[in-house]
Each structure stands twice: as structure tokens, then as C-alpha cells.
Structure 1
Amino acid sequence: MDQSSEKELEKYILNQVQWESLPSHAKLILDQSHTKYKQYVLKYSIKHQLRWDTSLISCFVTDERLYYQEIVRLSVANLVLYPYHISDKLVPMLNVTPFKYYLIMMIETMTNSKSYDELPNFTAVDCLRVLEIGRNQFIDLMNKCRSKGNLFKKKKDVIRGLLPQKSLEKNIDYWWIIKYGHPNQDEERNLSSQELEIIDDLKKSNGQGRQAGVFQREAVLSLVSKGLVYIDVPIQNSDVVSVPPLEGFVMNRVLGDYFESLLYKIFVSIDERTTVQKLSEVLQINVELVKQAVSLYIRLGFAKKKNLEPLITNVVVQPQPQPQSPRQQPSNNSESPNIVLETSPAPITPTTAAASKWNQSWITYYQDKQEDSPFLNTNNLPKNMTNDNNELNIVDQTENESSGGTMLNSDESTLMGEEQKRIGFVFDSSITAFLMMGNLGYGLKNHAVTMFEVGKLANEALEDFLKELDKINADEFVDSEAKLYATNAISLRDTIRHLRSRYVIGGQLQGLDLLSCERMNSLDEATRIRVLKKNYSVLISMAPLSTDNTPVITAIPPNFGPPIYEVHSFWFRMYLYHMIGKGPKSILFPKGTRLRKIPQVFKDCEKIFVCSIDHDPITVNLSQLLPTANETLLSSPLLLQAYSFIKYESIPKISKFQSHSRSNSVVSTQKDDQVIFNVAFPTHLEIDHDSTCLNEEEYNEENISNHPLIQKIQEVFNLKHSFGYISLLKKELYSYPSHPYQQTGSASSLFQKTIEFVPLNIYFGIPIFDDKLNRQVCEKIDKYNLLSQENLAQHSRNCRNLSLNLFHFISSTCPPIHPDLDAIDSTKINSTFPSVQNIPLPTQTISFINGIIDL
């Protein structure tokens, strides 16, 4: 059964369509078999953990208890998260609490000697929360199990004795709902008076439960550990949540089951400006599924609910004298209003009707934790107030501007609501890799995990991220690789500050979100377009993105990155050389080609540039070209390019000497000289025409931007409305003079060197890997006002023309990419191109030699 047929049947199952009402084409999918329909309904319902009483499965399975038992059995076997959304059935009916569920799962995993890495990420996190068993604890338990004698005990009994005997869940918030669980008369006889009062109250609630905050906190935790009550995290359609940097996330693997995939899909889309209902509409997912996901994020500590009822609301305004800061001027000798809490040295006791219902133990608990918890209701307070030592003081507006921040305080952002859009900075996994592995500081790891797992670091979390990045000192690192990681992190920090603090788009200063291209591309195309259109006014990519990562492609918002997938591939290199008429000697081989000998055009090369479709380019020595190329061609097309040259001489009398000089003088010279030069664009307004007459040998890193080739590339590709950098390859050709025996001096003097600069590639976006180049690109964004509304429109127009021209070029070498390519309107800059599932692959060998494309 194909995917489209499965989706068709799923639609009828969710709409509870009986067999008799199924359309004829749906029955044909099932071979006209009522039994097959029943089996499919059962399989789908168990896999998606549908409720028995509100789904079609109740028509096929009459025993509700048996149905839920099967869900538990298969969920444990497949290491699936505890189904919290049906806990009101699993706990009272089957006495299966999260603790018992994960206890069984852990026993089975350890009994069968499975690796801890087999637990999916979210399942592993929930096990850690309920059982306090993480990777290290798991390994320790397995070692203890092996060390104990199993002569008279079963292995499963030994493991059971090592595991916790009761739930260790402690992170419960005051607004969560506690409900009465499975009756247990023996346990209830041994309860304290406080615990008995809670049980009696819950029994009277008719299954609705009570908020945990109205009871004594320790009594609630005790009942949870004994399994007599269970927890529900209530989520409403109007709720708004935020995702702070992840703590305690377990990075194992993504299982791929439907709910784990849904969790990641919602993770990258959620933000604290969008309600649950609106998020459901943007993602086009049932709102109940979104609630389940959000509830789980909060339960695991990965998200926080924003619109909470405060613990304390007794706030009054009292006049208090204010010490003037040096920059404040006296104003008519009047006293500034000062807002204080009605507190005393004793613990805070709520006095208002709204706050009196909360138990004092919860207020004390949050005070001890010193978290950003909703003690205080500040919804109606005047603007520009900060809390300092339990006093809310009026401050100068400039004090609300965080360093390098958005200069919009949280109140203003809230008032703007969903209309406030941001800049999206697109990164790939290479950034999270060097943040996690670069030994740059422990505080960065939580942010790196968030960027990798959530796929986004929101503007609200950037201040703390920047503080951690500020602690990096590249001079402290001696190892070259570690120093490179540190330099890259500093460039990322400077880029974030630059983008957050300067750009006004649509009359508003923009916030900034960091977006993972991998996570954004995990969304289906229509959903991705809706998410980006709703939240962002412009996208900016890091440059270059890794070749094995697909860039985020969108027409709305405008995108300063690769405009289409093909620009991020070897096709664009060939198109660049074709349009400019210059480039390194290049041959593009289709997948499956076998090279029996080195192509003749590379015979004078020292090193070759090897570019595949799914890996970053590498350089290989000519001697290693054949095995490297043939291995890659088994799975990918391959572009080979001349990188560095050496002239071979066949005169017998000097061949031995030449071989010696080639391995010493020439190679060492190439190691010392810079081969690739990167030039930030646009540069056309800075060119001094007097300097364009320099010889090729006179160009260096300081004046290479004045090279005529840079000007030509900018004109041909109309780069003045975009930003990024152009890579030039410095070709150094070595040859013997016409009379080599007449030469005297060192061995290197036997060679005549010819220098030529040729284009290598164009990269769109802001580079992170080079701090100097990073500053140059950022300066050009400012200098030419490239994020203005006028420039955004022109940039989008240029990107569309570039994409269409590239499509035509590719179609001239292989079957057309789009059947209706000629009918695509180039003026519709706000519309996306017809979807292409994969980058088109070459069907024949294509070469670029001596300035000409040859098929």
C-alpha cells in the first residue's frame, strides 16, 4: 500500500467512517475486504494511541480494557513515550502510571542487554525524570547486574531489585492538575492526615481533579511517588508558551514514530508570540495533538507557560524617595512613585482573594529555587519598571536596552503580538558541532543542544547566549582546531549583535531568531512556507552552508541565501564559469561513471578539487584521484576541478632533478602562498579604475577586490543588491624556459611562473568561518542599506531571474527540470517555483575547458 493510499484511509478513520459508508475507491484499496479494514483501523488506532470512546476502534473492539492493554504492551516494546493524553484511562483502569510504565520498559531493555542509545530522545528524557536513570546510571546498573550472581535468581529479578521502588518525579508546578488514580486500600491506610485530605478532596471532584497549588507540596509529591494520584498538565487553546535553552536533554536518536516526529515538528515552529490555536492553524495539525505536544514539553521542563495566574497579586503603589542616578535630572522636586510588595521579614502570605487559594509551601518552594516564576502579577503595572530587591523602580528608557539587543522591551513586544516579525538567521549543524565539541565553555552546551534539537534559538534566549559567547577568548587556545572553533564562535556572536541592533524593517526594529536549516526542512514545504511567512520579515543564511545540508528556500520572506537548491550545488559552479568564460578546468561526471585513467586535462595538476552532491569539496593529490573519484561515483555525481599545477618534463637528463625540485621547491611554495581569495560583495562602488591595470602578480589579499574579474562577476550576476562573498582561485602554472640548460642559480629558478585568477564560486549570506570576511560583509550591509524595503524587492527580483537562468542552463545539459519552465513568470517575485523533489543529476559528462562548456 503506497503512501497516498494510507493517507486516504487515515482520513476515513479519523472521520469515523464505517465500512458501509466507505467510497468504492477506498474499498478497492482494501481489496473489498471488511476484515482488512478492521485490521488497518486497529493497527492505526494503537500506533497513534487513539482514545477508545471517541474513535472508530470502539466499533471493532468491544473490550475497552483489552484495547488499552494492547497500547501499553506495544508502546513499551517499541520504546514509545508514555501516552499521557490517555492517562485518565491507563491509571484508574489498568493502574499503569508513568513510573510503572518506564520501570517495565527499563527492565525489558536491561534484561535483553540493549544499549541505552536505543531509547529515543524524548523517552530517555522522561525515564530520567521519573526514574532518575540516565546514561551513566544505566551503565552503572548494567555493571552491577553482571557482577551479581544469577545462580538462584532470574536476571529480571536482579534488575528489578536494582531499580527505584517508587517514582522520583519532583518537578511539579502549582497550576498542574492532580487526579485520583487507581484505588489501593492498603496504601491509603498508611497515609498522613494531609495526604488523606487530598485523596478525599480528589474523590469528590468527579474525576476533574484539583490544582496542585491548593495542597501542601510535600504531600502532593508523596502521593505521586506512591502512585495514588497522577498529574495532568492542562493546556488551553489560548495558551502561549516559550522554549528556554534545553537542560537535561538526552541526545540518543530519533525513533521516527509519529509522535516523536510531531514533537520535533512543533518544536521548531513554536514561539511565545503564537497561541496554541494559532500554531495548530499554521501547522494544519489537530489542535488536540498540539496540546499534547505542548503539555509534554512543559512536563519535561523544555517549555514554560506564559499566561499563568500569579502566585502573588498584592501589589500596591506607594510614594518612596528615589536616589537619582548621575544621568537623571531633578524634576520639580517631586517624589517618584515606587512600587513595592506588601511584605515583611516573614514569608510572603497572600492576602487577596486571587492569591489566598495557593498553599504557602509552593510560594516558599519557588522563593528557595529563585526561578523566574509568576510570584507577581505585573500585567497592569506602568511601563519601564524593573524588579530589584523586591522593589519595582521606574528607570530610564535607555536602561531597558540590552547590550546589542533589540531595544524593544518585553511589554512592547507583547503589545505588538503576532504582527511583530523578526529576522531569521539560518545556520547548519556545523555551528552546533563546534559549540558542543570546541571546549568553549560549559554554558554554551545547553544553547548548542537547543539549536540542534529544537532547531531554533529564539530572540528571548539570545542575551544569555551572547553572555556565554563573550567569555570566549581565542588567544587562550593553542591548538589550531580549537582556536578555529573559538574564532568562529566570536564571528557568530558579532553577527548576532550586528543583526539585532541595527536593522529597522517596516518601521520596527527587528528581533532575531537562529533557525536550523535541517529542522526547518524537516517540515513539509507548505508548512515551512506558512511558518516563515508568519514569523519572519527576512531570512539571512550563514555562508557557506554545508553541502550535505539543504538550504531553506523561500520567496516570502526575502531570502539572503541560496535562492534555490541548485545554487547550493555543483551546477552553479558550472553555470558561473559558463557565464564568465573563465574558471578552473572542470569535468562533471554522472553517477555510476568509472574512471580507468586520470583525465588528460589534469595531467599537469598537483592537487584536484573533488565536489560531490552531498559532501563538502575536498582537495586530493593527483596520485589519490582515481580511488577517491571512483568510490564517490558509486553514490553521487562528481565534479573534478584543477586546483594547483606543476609542469611535468620528459627530458631524461633532468627528470630526476625535476622530480626532486617538484617535491621541495614548488610544493613548499604553494603551501606558503594563498591559493583561494575571498572577496566580500558588493564592491562595485569602491573600485579604483587606476588599480584595475595591475599585473596578475601584483594582486594580493589587500587589493584583490579591485580585480576586473570581481567587477565582471558582479555585473553579470547583478550582485549589487545582495551580499556574500566571491571565491577566486589563484592559478600558478609552472613551466621550463625554452633553454633550461642555460639557467643558473637555485632549482626553483628553472621554472617560469604564470599567475592567473579564475572564479571558483559565489556564496550568498554572511560568512562565519573568517572573522575578517565576516566584518567586511556586515559593513557592506550597513553601507549599502541592503535590508531596506526597496532593496529587498530588488534582491528578490534578481534572485528569481538568477534561478530561472540557472534552470535553463541545467535543462540545456539534461532533461528539463520543469515541464513548463518557459511559462514561469519571472516578475512574480513573491511566488515559489514548482516543487522539485531532488536536485537534477547530470545524465552525461560535462566539461569546462579553455572557457567553453562541452557536452
Structure 2
Amino acid sequence: MEDEIDECIRKKIQWQQLPGNLKKILNESPKEYERYILEFSIKNQLRFRGSLVRTVRKDERKYYEALIQNSIQRLMLYPYHLADMIVKGLRITPFIYYIEVVALLIELEKSYDTMPNFTAADCLRLLGVGRNEYLELVAKARSLGRRGRSRAIRSLLPRVPLNIPMQTWWRVELGYVLEEDVKPLSEKEKHLIDLLIDQGSQTAGTLDYHVVKILYRRGLIYLDVPITAADKVSVPPLKGFVMNRIAGDYFETLLYKVFVSIDEHTSVAELATVLQVESELVKQAVSLYCRLGFAKCLQPPPVSPQHPSWRDALTTHYHQPYRQIAPLTFDPNVEEDLQMDPVLIKDLPSTSKQELPDAPTSNAGQRVAVLFDSTLAAYLMMGNLSPVVGDSEIEGEARRYLAAAACLRVALRTLRPKLRPLDLLRCEALHALDAPARTRLLTTKYRLAISTAPLSREARAGAAAGSLPHVGPAPPEASTPWMRLYLYHLAGYGPPTLLLTKGKKCCLTAEWRNRQ
């Protein structure tokens, strides 16, 4: 029923039009509905204007202050879709926001793993605070006295954001600028501020890159990553991602759904239709992926005329590899690599030395899904996959991990020439989608599902494949005694079988003993 109330709030249904059964849940109280509207709006970071919360709260500034405070307490991602209100109205840039997030964790002496995955990735991008840096900060904070501890902790954190990669097609927006902020600026910097005041946002690539970078690091401008419904993006092997925990908030859930579903053949509008999600929300998710460097827009808006200073601009994320993975083979002479994305590999490059010249290519809807489970993902990310792959001393679990990875490599080298393009999909990620969305995704993009072996019971490859033709190992239930009993029952034939429930006592007859 809570989901139905949430949907009513999203659709801006007033109390008078609310269904009777929902009114009963809310104890026939309009005030209870108003409280629910406020909590839902803050929790889901809804824009004040144009949403139902405007009818129950009149002070827009206080609403956004409560939204930011709640988001920091819950360690959520910065609400980039509200940057025009948060930066211009409250003067809270993403950098300032994440300073507060990290300071809060340090004050509470929480583990770094407390920070959700995407929040940690954005903190690393803007602050340069990863796991090791965080541990050093916590150690320094423990030596601080109780008096003025909060301010002292913030003094340990970076003063300005890192020099982040920017793209020429991003938009430069004016932030919250005071008269005192303008005084120390150079003439070029003042000119750009005046330009933004007079003419509004500008395409980054048409401006002097060095001036943009300086004003950004001063917090006087912010960057918008515009995504349209027609845009398509590619998702390269994942780097720069932080594996901590899943928070489960609305936007993070959407991010994972989009990440599982997106590919370079599907537009944002088509993806929104497949997932049955508002197009605006999918735009926000894809925009964040491009901002973090996890995705690349295939046809960004043209930039003309492009300022010559962008020739030397930092436009690429130099993420540290997620994990250095050794060659996936028992032969130490082979030097090929295979990178694995923790969720999904898109259009895996061929590792075959001899590519078949007549290998067919397929359009969207004609791809092949190779299903695997989280166990295999864990094998590929284990530190036991060290460079000593040919070492005869590797045994036990470590050798099992290596064998699993090597078998996957052989399978992909064998399948790809005739079944390209292949997408490597994790079953658990598919199960994160609701059944209708999973069915729409698979039938829209794939013609066949092939699953690896062995698969854990939780993978449920058959369910993950849905209605697609599925080639792969039998489900774990097939090898259980219950399956044999079921087959004996259907066939009406089988060896003598006796099923005794736990605690039941019986005496075998002479006839039964003789049959044995």
C-alpha cells in the first residue's frame, strides 16, 4: 500500500482525489498525508516547484535545506538534478556537500565501507579521498581534542576540489557569487562571470578551459551534463568504481537498473520505456554516469567554435584499475588480458588471435546474453589471481578461482566469433529488475541466453533468461532426490523408492526386503 501512496504523490494527487482505501491507511487524516508527502519528497529529492510538496510547505529555501541535511545524513549522492537550486540558492556545491559527508563519517568514526558505492566514487573523484586516505584521516582525527573537534576535522579535509575531467559539450552555469568573490579575480575570470550573468549558461568548450577550471575550483560556477532522450552512451569496462555497500535509496536503485540495461544501441527514451521509468529520471542517471566517467556519450552536441585551450584540457578519467588481473590462462607464455566489469561487460573485445573473417555482426535485439553468477565475479576479483599463474604450488581454492576464470576465457573465445555481439550478464543483476522490466529488456535486446557452469542456486539462470531460448547447465534442483522422485512419478517407472518423513518409524516387510 505504501507503494500506491508513493505513486499518488508522484502523480500529484490531492487528498480529495485519493482512493478511499488509501485514506483509511492514513487514518482519514489529511495532515498525515501532508506529512507523508513531505517525507517522500525529501527522501526522493523531488524538486519543490512542480511537485505536490509545494502545497504542504510554503518556504522553498527551508525545504531544500531539509533535503540537503537529510541527504547528508543518509550519505546519498549529491542531487545534481537540483544543482540550480542547491548551488545558486544555498551555495552548497558538490565539493562542499561531500566535505560534510566525509566529516560526518569521521566524527562518528564509521567505517569507510559505510559510504554507499556511488557516493564513495563521487567523493574519490572530487575530494581524492578513497579508502586509504579515509583511514589516515580517521587516525589523525582521533588525536584531536573534544573542543572544536568538528571544525578541526574539516580542517584536515581538502580545501579545493580536484582538477576533474571536463567535456567540451558540458554546460557551465553560474553559481552563488558575492561581490567579495569577484574582487581577487583576473580580468578574464571577471569577463566570464559577466558573460554568464548577461547571457546565461554556456557550452564549456567555447570558453577558455583554464578560466573555467579556476572558477570551478573556486566554487563560483558549476557544471551541468546535459542528456537528451535521443542520446546513446557506451559503457566501457568499469574503472574508478568503489565496492562498498548498497544503500537502497530510490536513485541508487535506478542507477543499478540503468547500468544493467543500458548499451550503445539503446537511446535514453527507449531505455525509459523498457524500464517503465520516467524519461527524466533515466536522463539524470545517464548524466551521472557520464559525469563519473563510467559512460561516454556517443553523439554529444557539437561545439562550435571550440576554444583552442581545450587541446590540452583534462577530459579523460585516469581511474586506477579496479584490480590488476593476471592473464586468465594456465600457460605463463600467453600475455593476453581480460578485464571484467563487476556488473556487466559490453561488447567484450575478442581475445582470439585469429578472428574469423565471416563473423556475423548483429543489430540491437539480436545480441547474445552470456549469464554468470556472483561467485564467478568474486573469483575474477580475488587477489589470488596473482601473476604466478603457472606456479605449480597454486592449489586449493586459489586454483579453483583460476580454473573458473580460465574456463570463462576459453568459452568466450569459442563463442564470440559466431555469436557476436556478446554481453556478459550477471544473473543477480537481472533479478534486481522487476519481472516485467527484465522481460522487456531481454526480449528487446537479445535472441539467445547461454549460461556458464556451475551456477549457484541463487543465480536462477532459467528465471534470469526469461522467455529467451536458454542453453546451459540444468538447475541445481535437477540433481536433488526430489527431482528423481518427481520423474519417477511422471514416468510411472523407476527403482523401488521409499520416502520416510523425519521422525517416522516403520517396519520393512519381508517382501520389501526381498526386493532389495
Aligned mates of 2:354, 2:423 — CA distance in 1 = 14
Residues 1:108 and 2:108 aligned together: no
- Kindly indicate whether residue 180 of structure 2 is the aligned counterpart of residue 186 of structure 1: yes
2:291 maps to 1:299: yes
| 1:240–1:274 Cα contact (<8 Å) kept | yes
Matched, 1:282 2:228: no
Going from structure 1 to structure 2, the CA distance change for 1:556 and 1:118 (only over 3 Å counts) comes to same
Aligned residue for 1:426, secondary structure, equals strand
Which of 453, 471, 475 in structure 2 is aligned with 1:560? 471
CA shift for structure 1 position 181: 0.3
1:484 aligns with 2:400: yes
The 1:369–1:120 alpha-carbon spacing in structure 2 relative to 1, beyond 3 Å, is: closer
CA distance in 1, matches of 2:351, 2:412: 16
In structure 2, what is the Cα distance between the partners aligned to 1:32 and 1:511? 56
Report the secondary structure of 1:252's partner residue.
Answer: coil
512 and 405 in structure 1: CA distance in 2 versus 1, 3 angstrom threshold: farther
Kindly tell me: are residues 68 and 39 of structure 1, through their superposed partners in 2, closer, same or farther at Cα, counting changes over 3 Å?
same
Q: How far is 1:573 from its partner?
A: 4.8
TM normalised by structure 1 equals 0.52
Aligned counterpart for 2:171 among listed residues 149, 154, 177 = 177
Determine which of 412, 421, 441 is the counterpart of 1:531.
441
Which residue number corresponds to residue 336 of structure 2? none
Name which of 220, 229, 243 aligns with 1:237. Answer: 229
Q: Which residue of 1 is the match for residue 309 of structure 2?
A: 361
Structure 1 residues 587 and 424, CA, compared in 2 at 3 Å: closer, same or farther? farther
* Deviation at residue 588 of structure 1 after TM alignment: 8.4
Equivalents in 1 of 2:220, 2:46: separation in Å?
A: 25
Verify the 8 A CA contact 2:369 2:422 in the aligned structure 1: yes
1:424 paired residue number: 369
1:509-559 CA deviation, whole Å, 9 max, x = no partner?
Answer: x31111100001111111111111111111011122112333242453211
Question: Which residue does the alignment assign to 2:341?
Answer: none
Tell me how far apart the structure 1 counterparts of residues 245 and 406 of structure 2 sit (CA, whole Å): 30
- The offset of 1:192, in angstroms, is 1.8
Q: What's the Cα RMSD here?
A: 3.2
Q: Name the SS of the counterpart of 1:423 in structure 2.
A: strand
1: CA distance, partners of 2:316 / 2:443: 42
Confirm whether residue 65 of structure 1 aligns to residue 57 of structure 2.
no
Q: 1:490 to 1:535 in 2, by over 3 A?
A: same
What is the deviation of 1:369?
A: 9.0
| Percent of paired sites with the same residue | 41
- What is the Cα deviation at residue 244 of structure 1? 0.8
Q: Kindly indicate whether the alpha-carbon contact (under 8 Å) linking 1:537 and 1:557 is maintained by their aligned counterparts in 2.
A: yes
The structure in which a higher percent of residues are strand is 1
Residues 426 and 552 of structure 1 are in contact (CA less than 8 Å); yes or no, is this contact kept in structure 2?
no
Count how many residue pairs are aligned between Structure 1 and Structure 2: 478
Structure 1 position 101, deviation (Å): 0.8
Structure 1 residue 850: Cα displacement: 11
Give the C-alpha shift of residue 226 in structure 1: 0.9
CA distance in 2 between counterparts of 1:523 and 1:224 reads: 37
For residues 4-23 of structure 1, what are the structure 2 equivalents within 5 Å? 5-23=1-19
Aligned counterparts, 1:310-321, within 5 A: none
Question: Conserved in 1, the CA contact under 8 Å of 2:125 and 2:292?
Answer: yes
> In 2, Cα distance between the equivalents of 1:417 and 1:288?
26
Inter-partner Cα distance in structure 2 for 1:191 and 1:57? 40
Q: Structure 1 unaligned runs (5+)? A: 312-353, 372-399, 442-471, 504-509, 602-848
When residues 104 and 473 of structure 1 are mapped into structure 2, their CA distance, relative to the original with a 3 A threshold, is closer
Q: Which runs of 5+ in 2 are unaligned?
A: 320-349
> Would the aligned equivalents of 2:293 and 2:317 in 1 still touch at CA under 8 Å?
no
Amino acid at match of 1:51: R
User: Is 1:494 the counterpart of 2:486 in the alignment?
Assistant: no
User: Distance between the aligned counterparts of 1:106 and 1:252, measured in 2?
Assistant: 14
Q: 1:68 to 1:488 in 2, by over 3 A?
A: same
**Counterparts of 1:567 and 1:273, CA distance in 2:** 37
Q: Which amino acid aligns with 1:549?
A: A
CA distance in structure 2 between the partners assigned to 1:86 and 1:197 by the alignment? 26
Aligned to 1:383: none
* Structure 2 residue 84 is matched with structure 1 residue 88: yes
Paired AA for residue 41 in structure 1: I
2:324 corresponds in structure 1 to: none
SS in 1 for 2:137: helix
TM-score with structure 2 length normalisation? Answer: 0.84
Higher mean alpha-carbon deviation, 25-34 vs 242-251, is at: 25-34
**Cα distance change, pair 523–113 in 1 and its aligned pair in 2 (3 A):** same
Q: In 1, Cα distance between the equivalents of 2:470 and 2:93? A: 48
Tell me the equivalent position of 1:581.
494
1:191 to 1:524, Cα distance in 2 relative to 1, 3 A: same
CA contact (8 A) 1:131 1:169 kept: no
Equivalent residue letter for 1:488: A
The separation in 1 between residues aligned to 2:367 and 2:483, in whole angstroms, is: 30
The equivalent residue for 1:627 is none
Q: 1:259 matched to which residue of 2?
A: 251
Does the 8 Å contact 1:131/1:164 carry over to 2? yes
Classify 1:431/1:408 alpha carbon distance in 2 versus 1 (closer, same or farther; 3 Å).
farther
Q: Take 2:414 and 2:291, find their aligned partners in 1: how far apart are those partners?
A: 36
For the pair 1:475 / 2:467, whether they are aligned, the reply is no
Higher relative contact order (CA 8 A, sep 6+): 2
Deviation at 1:564, TM superposition (A): 7.5
Q: CA deviation at 1:485?
A: 2.5
Distance 1:228 1:123 in 2: 23
The structure-2 alpha-carbon separation of the partners of 1:567 and 1:536, relative to structure 1 and needing over 3 Å to count, comes to farther
Q: Report if aligned partners of 1:477, 1:483 keep a CA contact under 8 Å in 2.
A: no
What is the SS of the residue equivalent to 1:244? coil
CA contact (8 A) 1:547 1:568 kept: no
1:119-139 deviation per Cα after TM superposition (whole angstroms, max 9, x unaligned): 111111111111110110000
Q: Secondary structure at the match of 2:457?
A: coil
Code of the residue aligned with 1:37 in structure 2: it is Y
Contact 1:184/1:228, CA 8 A, preserved across alignment: no
Question: C-alpha distance in 2, partners of 1:498/1:246?
Answer: 24
Given candidates 229, 237, 242, the residue that maps to 1:250 is: 242
For the 8 Å contact 2:352–2:413, the answer to whether it is kept is no
Other structure's SS at 1:548 match = helix
Indicate the residue corresponding to 1:514 in structure 2: 424
TM-superposed CA distance for 1:161, in Å, is: 1.2
Contact 1:562 1:568 in 2 (8 A): no
Distance in 2 (CA, whole Å) between partners of 1:406 and 1:28 is 66
1:167 matched to 2:161? The reply is yes
* Alpha-carbon distance in structure 2 between the residues aligned to 1:74 and 1:492: 44
In structure 2, the CA distance between the partners of 1:109 and 1:438, relative to structure 1 (3 Å rule), is closer
Partner of 2:337: none
C-alpha separation in 2, matches of 1:565 and 1:72: 47
1:386-405 superposed matches below 5 A: 403=353
Q: State the 1:567 CA deviation.
A: 4.5
C-alpha deviation, 1:408, in angstroms? 8.5
Q: Distance in 2 between matches of 1:569 and 1:102?
A: 51
AA matched with 1:479:
I
Give distance in 1, aligned partners of 2:254 and 2:514: 52
Q: Does structure 1 conserve the Cα–Cα contact (< 8 Å) formed by 2:15 and 2:33?
A: yes
Name the counterpart of 2:338. none
- The change in CA–CA distance for 1:368 and 1:128 in structure 2 (over 3 A counts) is closer
The amino acid of 2:424's aligned partner reads: L
| Residue type at the aligned position of 1:475 | G
The answer to whether the 8 Å contact 2:453/2:473 transfers is: no
User: C-alpha separation between the residues in 2 aligned to 1:600 and 1:190?
Assistant: 97
Equivalent position of 1:467 in the other structure: none
Distance 1:112 1:213, change over 3 A: same
Which residue in the other structure is 2:381 paired with? 436
